[in-house]
Amino acid sequence: MLGVLAAISAISYRYGLIDVATRYIYDHQVAKIEEAADMAIIFVGDSSLGSAINEPLFSDLSGSPSATLPLSGTYGLGASFNMIRRANAQHDVHTAVVFQSLNTMTRPDVMAGYFFTTADLKLTELSPIDIAKLYLNYRTASETLQEIRKHGFRREAPRMEGGYIAQRSRGSHARSPDEELQKKPLLPGMVSPAEVEFIVRIVDYCEREEIRCVYAHGPIYDGYCRTSAPYIESLNQAITGAGLEVVEGTPPCVPLDEVGDEVDHVLPSLRDTYTRWYYARLRPYLE
């Protein structure tokens, strides 16, 4: 039975049948690192970053070659840590902005994202037991079988736009931002210790490599700003307690008519506006 479970999970990771193993956007960002002439400022994070920051515009505003390296939120802070290490191994990075959605910081499962984005598995600190848990995972196997039934093994590459997966239009079946807020509120006790632990590791790495690292919350529907102040306060305390400074004024609270296809995405037409908003707040850290 355990062999079957491991085999199904291995198939999932090989073919990208669950979100954490979907390699399209990860492969895109790795190629960007390898092909870029220079990266002085990097942003690492999740899809909220992909929706909010225009990479060429930020480079122009800052006067330094900048790169956005967003992955899916399910990868978590472990993957953001690895992307900083990977970029710095090939470029002279002087500033790294950890840019995460408020929602990402509630995820308890971080090891899969960390493990599957580690450039050299010799560098991973996971024990054989931890690695076995990634493969002997009932949830992964169950989701894999569901995906195979629905779609088979074929996966088409997603359409890219502005350096990230293009946003979808909100269908009539999709929950509204307010419905999403009611179904998935953010409460103080929801801050994930596993995510915070990787902030500690980011801080340690940045200090050793003499990289200026800061934390910026991604944009969020303003309904969350009105109802989740205790959660944001608790999250900020955890981040600063781990040694990383939070950029003042973040997250930007996004009005309903500026929300994209998710509560932590802005409309594509407003990416430049939000890029300038973030640049104004990040500028003190770039001087």
Please determine, for residue 283, whether its predicted confidence score (pLDDT) is greater than 80.
yes
What is the number of structural domains in the chain?
1
* Lowest mean per-residue pLDDT among 33-37, 169-173, 249-253: 169-173
Range of the domain at 276: 2-153+175-286
Return d(Cα 9, Cα 17) in angstroms, integer. Answer: 9
- At 125 the pLDDT is 67
Asked if the structure places residue 167 within a domain, the reply is no
> How do residues 98-145 score in pLDDT, each as one tens digit?
999 999 999 887 777 887 788 776 556 666 666 666 655 555 556 566
Asked if the structure places residue 168 within a domain, the reply is no
- At 117 the pLDDT is 83
Q: Are 164 and 54 in contact (CB under 8 A)?
A: no
Asked if the structure places residue 166 within a domain, the reply is no
- At 20 the pLDDT is 41
Q: How would you label 16-30 residue by residue, b for 16+ Cβ within 10 Å and e otherwise?
A: bbbebbbeebbebbb
Average pLDDT over the chain, rounded to an integer:
85
The DSSP secondary structure of 165-224, one letter per residue, reads: EPPPP--TTSPPHHHHHHHS---GGG--HHHHHHHHHHHHHHHHHT-EEEEEEPPEEHHH
Percent over 70 (pLDDT), the chain: 77
Asked if the structure places residue 163 within a domain, the reply is no
Please determine, for residue 19, whether its predicted confidence score (pLDDT) is greater than 60.
no
Asked if the structure places residue 164 within a domain, the reply is no
Percent over 90 (pLDDT), the chain: 62
Average pLDDT over residues 49-60: 97
> How do residues 21-54 score in pLDDT, each as one tens digit?
467 888 889 999 999 999 999 999 999 999 999 9
- At 256 the pLDDT is 95
108 or 195, which is more confident? 195
Asked if the structure places residue 158 within a domain, the reply is no
Asked if the structure places residue 55 within a domain, the reply is yes
> How do residues 66-96 score in pLDDT, each as one tens digit?
999 999 887 889 999 999 999 999 999 999 9
Average pLDDT over residues 3-14: 54
- At 14 the pLDDT is 52
CATH number for 96: 3.40.50.1110
Asked if the structure places residue 135 within a domain, the reply is yes
Please determine, for residue 3, whether its predicted confidence score (pLDDT) is greater than 50.
yes
